[in-house]
Chains A and B, each alone.
Chain A
Amino acid sequence: MFWDDDQPGVVLLSIGATPTSDYTKNRTVRVDAHRAAILDEINAQSGVLPFILRLHTELLLGLKGKIFLGVMGACFVLAIASGIALYGPSMRRLKFGEVRHHRVAIVRWLDLHNLVGIVIGCWMLVVGSTGVLNAFADLTIKYWQYDQLADMLGKEAGRPRPETLSSVQQTADAAQALATGMKPSFIAFPGSIFSSASHYAVFMKGASPLTSRLLKPVVCDAATGRVVDSRAMPWYVTALLVSQPLHFGDYGGLPLKIIWALLTLLTIFVLGSGLVLWSGRILRARRLRDGGRR
């Protein structure tokens, strides 16, 4: 059960056939929070945007694709860093932003590549490095489950599911009483991947723009609703949660998204002009080699 700040008055439910069924096959429905009436079903798996998202995050290859893209992202970050290191020597005789229009095309490409690359270099580094963190999100969450969640659930994790579950409201109230000033972001029901058969896990979030991105897990007994354990997320999960908005640019309204799109186009220009310079160097080397043979 989760809440989306962009959809006030709506509760989203991710439903599986059984508590232990594959969560990736869950169906998601929107429920009116006041009338408890089902509004509609969200098909988050099909459509153009989910396809593009899966292409972007995993190349449609699942975990292997995510790891591959993570490694490629690390190469991207290294390429940007090396480009910044090369900027200084190549600009010793030029002013900032100078483009030598009177020189051959390859020099103009170099100047434009240097200009755009250095101006948006910092943004590219941020988006590239946060992309690497996001690529390893599944592994990070798995590690957290093994490292922290298992410890929070403790010895009671092996208990069977109780006959009667505590109400969700009672559980959420208990979590909210512990984490004052926070509200539930999502509740993992007993038997789901973020809880055990005998526990609810309530993931609380803050109210400020930044803390609304961060989560604090509160584990509650499924039979009584009382709080069993709660602790702050470790640094690696916090880094992952903060990296998501910094990678996707979905936190500052539509103008920020437009700026993000323009910066992405400029990044494509930097990559494209880099290819032009690289191919120009290859062609020149080949020409020199062929000339030497004659």
Chain B
Amino acid sequence: MRRRSGIWTYPAVMAVATIAGLLIGLTGDAGWDAISWALLAVPVAVCAYGLWPNSARRPSAAQGPNP
């Protein structure tokens, strides 16, 4: 079983990227807009990778069978 903090590391990174992207786009202009696009594109790219057929992580052999 994984530690609770490990479960939330990547979701926390996604949340920070999203909030930062939203706020930077709202408060900045020009170059800041580009940073906003890049940050908000991160969750889109992660989802696209996950939804791409057979691209998402497969369970590793060392991890053992899953429920």
Contacts and interface: CB of A to CB of B under 8 A. Distances in A.
A255 to B, nearest CB: 5
B40 to A, nearest CB: 5
Interface range on chain B: under 10, 10 to 19, 20 to 34, or 35 or more? 35 or more
A101 interface: yes
Contacts of B9: 96
B51 A245 contact: no
B15 to A, nearest CB: 4
B51 A122 contact: no
A95 B59 CA distance: 8
Interface string B18-54: 1100100111110001001100110110110111001
Contacts of A251: 25-26
A282 interface: no
A100 B66 contact: yes
Give chain A's interface secondary structure class.
helix
Which of A208, A213, A246, A256 gathers most chain B CB within 10 Å?
A256
Which of A87, A102, A123 gathers most chain B CB within 10 Å?
A123
Interface residues of A, number: 44
Contacts of A99: 50, 56-58
Interface string A117-128: 011111100100
A98 B66 CA distance: 11
Nearest to B40: A259
A12 B65 CA distance: 66
A98 B37 contact: no
Contact of A120 (B27, B43, B54): B43
A266 interface: yes
Nearest to B1: A92
Interface in A224-270: 242, 245-246, 251-253, 255-256, 259, 262-263, 266, 269
Nearest to A212: B29
Which of B9, B59, B60 gathers most chain A CB within 10 Å?
B59
Interface string A205-222: 000111001000000000
B57 A210 contact: no
Given A96-B7, A100-B66, A119-B50, 9 more contacts: A87-B7, A88-B4, A99-B50, A101-B54, A115-B50, A116-B51, A256-B33, A263-B43, A269-B51
10 contacts: A97-B10, A99-B50, A102-B59, A122-B14, A123-B40, A213-B26, A245-B26, A251-B26, A255-B37, A266-B47
